[in-house]
């Protein structure tokens, strides 16, 4: 082992959406690119490194980013492309270890402690050189799979691994020996500690705490008396200690799909179209996994971040797109009647998943207001649709019309 304890990796794609756009449109390479809503009211979803030199950042209002960098090229995002790239990246990561915890579409922690000896044996090397070789191999395999840059941080826990990948960006690789962390961290700004936001940083600055060394020197009890118990966690992290495990999401309890919009959407037709797309996708994964569901939940978030959920139970387990759409569209229609405002995020998830073929058991149960049993004909439609998507990709088929008229 290169050091006693755990080996944790953090892999993070660089300016992910913007890099995908630059990959696919050579004219955008080397240029400041902002991915986001086309209108100036929208938010930046990703900023290329060229635009970051001007201070542009993701999650920044588009209007502000364009003030900072008026020459930036604004590209409307293409989620299909990003999620395909994301899927391929995660396949690469899982080929190195099954212990992968996704943090977002383009970011993951990997627990490498158990897998390390396999690589040591396979390559006949050990210590830091095996870590470096794994890190390079991950980056190279991602390049081969999706032709995109990634940064990799390797250390003894999640905090230090993420810090390392952040410091190495873009297209970087950094290995931080946790035994050297206390020294390396000392002169870093307190902002590198997660959970320590800009407002708290301001308050700390008022009492002359700017670096991690300042934070440590202030004393635990004095910090706790001013900032509460959370200060103990800051101090633990400031010493490079972090015991959070890499969590595996092996057990899939629900199948869902959600999206934050570039621009808030108020138009009912547009919302229905988005929801129909989600419904087709989740119903298809349901069938792929040989499952049925008993319930549908709609998640809705307004511009002010207030979040609502609306759920409904199906009369019987189903795997039919049509039956799920009937419930999902009904939930949306009821929500729209409440007229609460434009949506920032919408999602749909299926629960009450079951792997058993229960449909026939319910054959004698009369369907009430919603037909939940897949009729023979509907099953054929679903099967044919799945086969076409499998062969030609999503977007090759739209059956919105037939479902929308229900």
Q: How far is the CB of 79 from Mg ion (least distance, A)?
A: 16
Which H helix or E strand runs over 385? Answer: helix 376-392
Interaction of residue 12 with Mg ion, rule CB under 5 A:
yes
Q: 362: which residues sit within 8 A by CB, 6+ positions away?
A: 316, 317, 372, 373
Interaction of residue 46 with Mg ion, rule CB under 5 A:
no
Instruction: Kindly determine how many residues on this chain lie close enough to bind Mg ion according to the rule CB under 5 A.
Output: 4
Closer residue to Mg ion in complex, CB, 16/261 = 16
Interaction of residue 106 with Mg ion, rule CB under 5 A:
yes
- Checking phi first, is residue 219 left (phi over 0); if not, alpha (psi -120 to 50) or beta? left
User: Catalytic residue numbers?
Assistant: 107
Interaction of residue 280 with Mg ion, rule CB under 5 A:
no
From 4-12, 88-96, 153-161, 295-303, span contacting Mg ion (CB under 5 A): 4-12
The candidate with the shortest Cα–Cα distance to 375, out of 383, 46, 285, 352, is: 383
From 99-107, 110-118, 267-275, 318-326, span contacting Mg ion (CB under 5 A): 99-107
Closer residue to Mg ion in complex, CB, 13/328 = 13
Q: Which residue is it, tokens 């090229």? A: 73
Q: Are 234 and 196 in contact (CB under 8 A)?
A: yes
Q: How far is the CB of 282 from Mg ion (least distance, A)?
A: 25
Interaction of residue 382 with Mg ion, rule CB under 5 A:
no
Listed in sequence order, the DSSP H helices in 105-185 are 116-123, 128-146, 158-168, 181-185
The per-residue b/e assignment along 97-127, b for 16 or more CB within 10 angstroms, e otherwise, is bebbbbeebbbbbbbbbebbeebbeeeeeee
Closer residue to Mg ion in complex, CB, 43/215 = 43
Closer residue to Mg ion in complex, CB, 85/204 = 85
Q: How far is the CB of 58 from Mg ion (least distance, A)?
A: 9
Q: Are 346 and 275 in contact (CB under 8 A)?
A: yes
Interaction of residue 19 with Mg ion, rule CB under 5 A:
no
Q: Are 271 and 331 in contact (CB under 8 A)?
A: no
Q: How far is the CB of 20 from Mg ion (least distance, A)?
A: 12
Q: How far is the CB of 338 from Mg ion (least distance, A)?
A: 36
Provide the 3-class DSSP secondary structure of residue 308. strand
From 102-110, 225-233, 269-277, 344-352, span contacting Mg ion (CB under 5 A): 102-110
Structure tokens at 355: 């792997």
From 5-13, 122-130, 184-192, 288-296, span contacting Mg ion (CB under 5 A): 5-13
Closer residue to Mg ion in complex, CB, 23/394 = 23
List contacts with Mg ion (CB under 5 A).
12-13, 16, 106
């Amino acid at each position: 082992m290169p050091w006693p304890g755990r080996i944790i990796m953090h892999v993070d794609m660089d300016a992910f959406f913007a890099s995908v756009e630059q990959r696919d449109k050579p004219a955008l390479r080397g240029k400041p690119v902002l991915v986001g809503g086309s209108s100036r009211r929208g938010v930046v979803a990703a900023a290329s490194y060229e635009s970051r030199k001007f201070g542009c950042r993701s999650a920044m209002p588009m209007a502000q980013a364009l003030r900072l960098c008026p020459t930036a090229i604004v590209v409307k995002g293409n989620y299909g492309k990003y999620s395909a790239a994301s899927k391929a990246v995660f396949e690469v990561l899982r080929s190195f270890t099954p212990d992968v915890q996704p943090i977002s579409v383009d970011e993951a922690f990997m627990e490498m402690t158990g897998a390390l000896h396999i690589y040591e044996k396979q390559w006949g090397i050990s210590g830091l050189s095996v870590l470096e070789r794994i890190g390079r191999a991950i980056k190279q395999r991602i390049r081969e799979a999706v032709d995109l840059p990634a940064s990799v941080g390797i250390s003894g826990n999640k905090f230090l691994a993420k810090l390392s990948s952040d410091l190495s960006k873009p297209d970087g690789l950094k290995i931080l020996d946790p035994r050297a962390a206390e020294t390396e961290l000392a002169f870093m700004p307190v902002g590198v500690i997660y959970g320590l936001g800009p407002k708290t940083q301001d308050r700390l600055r008022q009492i002359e705490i700017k670096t991690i060394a300042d934070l440590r020197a202030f004393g635990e009890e004095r910090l706790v008396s001013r900032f509460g118990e959370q200060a103990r966690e800051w101090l633990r992290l400031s010493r490079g200690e972090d015991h959070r495990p890499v969590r595996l999401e092996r057990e899939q309890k629900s199948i869902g799909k959600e999206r934050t919009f570039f621009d808030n959407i108020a138009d009912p037709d547009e919302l229905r179209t988005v929801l129909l797309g989600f419904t087709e996708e989740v119903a298809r994964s349901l069938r792929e996994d040989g499952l049925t569901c008993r319930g549908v939940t709609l998640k809705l978030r307004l511009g002010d971040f207030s979040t609502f959920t609306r759920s409904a139970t199906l009369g019987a387990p189903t795997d039919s797109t049509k039956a799920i759409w009937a419930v999902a569209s009904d939930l949306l229609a009821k929500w729209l009647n409440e007229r609460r405002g434009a949506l920032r995020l919408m999602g749909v998830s299926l629960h009450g998943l079951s792997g058993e073929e229960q449909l026939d058991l319910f054959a004698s149960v009369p369907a009430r207001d919603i037909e939940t049993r897949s009729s023979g004909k509907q099953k054929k439609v679903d099967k044919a649709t799945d086969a076409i998507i499998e062969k030609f990709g999503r977007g090759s088929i739209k059956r919105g019309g037939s479902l929308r008229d229900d």
